[in-house]
Amino acid sequence: MLKLIILRKTFLLICLFYAVFSNSQNSQVSENKVLIEIESPMSPPTWALLEQELLKANTAACKEFFNKYFDERGYLMAVERWGGNDGPDDAIENVADWPTLHMLGASDDILILYKKAWEGHLRQYTEAKTVDVPFAREGMYYKEFPVMMDWMHNGEGLRVFNLQGLSDPYDIDYQKRVRRFAGFYMNEDVEANNYDPEYKIIKSMFNGSKGPLMRKATSLDWAGDPIQIKNRFKAGHGESTYEEMLEHFKDYTDIIGDHPQNMSATTLAVNAFMLTGESKYREWLLEYVDAWLDRTKANNGIIPSNIGLDGTIGGSANGKWYGSTYGWGFSPIVPQTGKVQHRTRVYRGIIGFCNAVLLTGDLRYINAWGDMLDKVNSNNKKIDGKIQYPHMYGDNGWYAFSPEPVNWGALDCYFFTCSSKDRARLGKNNWISFLEGDNPNYPEEILRRDLDRIRNKYSNMLKDDSTPDTRLADDPMKYNPATVDALRELMLAGLDPGRGGAPLHSRLRYFDSVNRRAGIPSDTAALIDEMTADHVAVTLINLNQIESRELVVQTGAYAEHQCLYVEINDKQIPINQSSFTIHLLPGTGTRLVIKTKRYVNKPTLKFPWDIDTVVLK
């Protein structure tokens, strides 16, 4: 059984009283909020018990990890260095996925600890200075942001901050930083003139709070100051001497002009827009991403890897559209082995295209990316009797052939379109197969796998005998126990934000309306088992047999979708909001089919009880 309750004046008065005296800012309660009460008993399924156990295991392991590798100030206990091998971005990546873990429903201890690590690393790397690397001699951070580095590393360093708004958007320091960081790329800071509005480019691959680096990069810029490695450190790229570190970066010189990975910077504008609602952030993002879309079309549907300072394709790479560091033709030699390694990073450009869809609902951005994959893969050829696909392009055409087609962002394409064309390109995917009605054992299998991962990471952490003076910033990263893949897929139907600084793209998310925080309440679980272009189906359950639980279900990570109605046991309940409330009596649960219209609402970082009206684009 279920009851549909439209909140009445008495409930509104209680909510308004709470809003005035609670810590949430400017709380407003809409008179159209819908509460659905669930009375149907449900025996706890294994997946639900595993979800709650996974949240608990994550929390316990993360607390132990923090105690081992961070001090009381939130400083990482490691040697502070600048560079592409090891630097500030690696320090904060040690708490990667912790914001997602908290917004899923993990303990508030996770929020407290990752904020402590974030604040600590800002101070730590502002105080840390280089001796030889010229632009970081006054501090590796300036205005709480990297002085200038490429967006492969900037994105990794911001992957925690860029998701903080999911669980803590009302933090005043966070709000100030969101505006400041976005301003670095909109020329609002005279010291950070990164963007050229005439040609709609970010002027260098090295950019940050002190602006772009407008010269060729050197191995020193990338590798950082000299350091003893042998008998002390285990360098991430396998180097045994500092000279090998320099040799690793000897070909990383061509950084002038724009590169697709700079589109990771658009997440800063996304967060600023969702925080403030100010149109200037949206306008800048679309101006910049539209320019990249136009360049892709002009380059036969393939995104170029260099845009010159004059706005021309290949303009800073001798006219080569495939040029530049991390470009389509970037295949440097590994000094230790003498072998060629293919290191294009053009795939980071999809972050900008996905962000444009989030703000507009216009699928032409993601369709352009999918079409590009098809164009690249159409250059396949038969080698040794097998069809193989190119992954790189150089002076002699396509190369780096492999039996697997290029599929960078194929899952993103299907997530946004749910089209048969994008599904075919994706190929085998266990999660999507489950959503299609196959692979019924997937939830239990992936949840148990993630529990195994936590146990293994924790066990290996206990064996780590490194000391702070023999530890590089990225050394603890492999022991970071935060494991959220299964929970993100099963509970949210969400994409992995990855290491590029992307926001979360998901079909649903949950809030604890009683404790006034992001995340599913304790003793509750959610499983999304169906996803189409216009609906998702989710089972919600209260595992507590003596107490009720209440949660808000929001359509979209940022309320960007509109819930039209909810169907339970063939009964349609009109919603016409971006969220609704479920009240689960003790030991109850049900399956809901949630009919949605996607990307029609202005995305926001506000929590549902602070959204007073729905703003349609």
Q: How far apart are CA 139 and CA 443, in angstroms?
A: 46
Contact assessment for residue 507 and residue 528, using Cβ atoms and an 8 Å cutoff: yes
How many Cα atoms within 13 Å fall on the side-chain side of residue 109?
Answer: 14
Of 95-99, 235-239, 268-272, 389-393, give the lowest mean pLDDT range.
Answer: 235-239
Q: How far apart are CA 198 and CA 2, in angstroms?
A: 58
The first and second tokens of residue 295, run together, are: 């360049």
Which amino acid, one-letter code, is at 495? L
pLDDT score recorded for residue 44: 97
Predicted confidence (pLDDT) per residue in 483-524, tens digit: 999 999 999 999 999 999 999 999 999 999 999 999 999 999
Q: How far apart are CA 386 and CA 518, in angstroms?
A: 50
Q: How far apart are CA 469 and CA 474, in angstroms?
A: 13
Which DSSP helix (H) or strand (E) runs through 218?
none
Residue 271's nearest CA partner among 152, 414, 171 is 171
Predicted confidence (pLDDT) per residue in 183-212, tens digit: 999 999 999 999 999 999 999 999 999 999
Predicted confidence (pLDDT) per residue in 516-548, tens digit: 999 999 999 999 999 999 999 999 999 999 999
pLDDT score recorded for residue 234: 83
Residue given tokens 């003139």 in the structure block: 193
Burial 439-459 (b: 16+ CB within 10 A, else e): beebbeebbbebbebbeebbe
Q: How many residues does the chain have?
A: 617
* Residue 6 pLDDT > 70: no
| 569 band by pLDDT with thresholds 50, 70 and 90 | very high
* Residue 52 pLDDT > 90: yes
* Residue 430 pLDDT > 70: yes
What is the number of other CB atoms lying within 10 angstroms of the CB of residue 304?
29
More confident of the two residues 335 and 372: 372
Predicted confidence (pLDDT) per residue in 119-141, tens digit: 999 999 999 999 999 999 999 99
pLDDT score recorded for residue 165: 98
Q: How far apart are CA 468 and CA 68, in angstroms?
A: 10
pLDDT score recorded for residue 311: 98
pLDDT score recorded for residue 335: 86
For the chain, give the mean pLDDT: 93
pLDDT over 90, % of the chain = 91
pLDDT score recorded for residue 37: 97
pLDDT score recorded for residue 237: 75
Predicted confidence (pLDDT) per residue in 17-49, tens digit: 333 333 332 323 344 479 999 999 999 999 999
Burial 230-239 (b: 16+ CB within 10 A, else e): eeebebbbeb
Boundaries of every domain in the chain: 165-212+254-426, 218-251
* Distances 436 to 149, 236, 536, 604 between C-alpha atoms, Å: 42, 40, 11, 30
Which amino acid, one-letter code, is at 223? A
| 9 band by pLDDT with thresholds 50, 70 and 90 | very low
Predicted confidence (pLDDT) per residue in 129-186, tens digit: 999 999 999 999 999 999 999 999 999 999 999 999 999 999 999 999 999 999 999 9
The first and second tokens of residue 396, run together, are: 């002699």
How many Cα atoms within 13 Å fall on the side-chain side of residue 453?
Answer: 18
* Distances 329 to 131, 306, 371, 481, 582 between C-alpha atoms, Å: 33, 11, 20, 36, 53
pLDDT score recorded for residue 2: 57
Predicted model pTM: 0.94
